Structure 1
Amino acid sequence: MAAAHYGQPSQVPMPVHHSATPAGTFAPGTKIQVGEHRVIIQRYLSEGGFAHVYLVKLPRPIDGTDQAVLKRVAVPDKETLRSMRTEVETMKRLKGHRPIVTYIDSHASELKGGGYEVFLLMEFCDGGD
């Protein structure tokens, strides 16, 4: 993620646990800094692998919408972080191709207990996974 921003988010997000969502998910209203975008968690959407996916509100509309998807990925080591960087760089190169979800921004930070946390901000495509 050459353009990713490293360091701690400006506000530490507060995880929340409800019966409908897995432990460690963010509560609606939580603000997250992802690169140049300060997004607000609207709701939890799904999980898969080491990721949680959220619907978020953008500070200003992009392509006519103020909604986006935030993918939060737990990354255990530098090798996996490099793989995430490759994914982000590929999304950047494919930006503008119709069938590909549009990359908006990303952020990665090293966690105090070890490993990394990566936030990937993408366009919201209603009605699908």
Structure 2
Amino acid sequence: MADKVKKNTGGAARYKSRVRKAYSDLKEMELKEPLAVGCGGELRELLFAKGHSSRVARHAIRWFVGRPKYLNAIVAGGPRYSVKGEQCGEIVEHEIEFAKKQILSKEKVKKESSNAKSSARKYVLS
């Protein structure tokens, strides 16, 4: 029975490739940042029109708004923009605080990751 179990090889890699393509399509749209709260539906529609699934679009959008550049735009404060580039709303204080926490969290993970890699290299080299 165990020999009938088929492994899904390459499925995750293909999915990541599709998310990268959708992310690339988002970057090509040259959207003004930060985006208005609630415009995710519009972004999903635009990505869907380019042939991406709703699930892939959601992940690409999450990746797009989690970038340090985007988070720093929120920390800087100021207006938010619609998908069409029109100003619609302002960034509020709790959004700035949340973005700061996200940045610190990402920096911490990155630092821990680089420390783990360097200690692994020391172990391999000794």
- Choose between structure 1 and 2: higher helix proportion: 2
TM-score by length of 2: 0.26
Larger Rg: 2
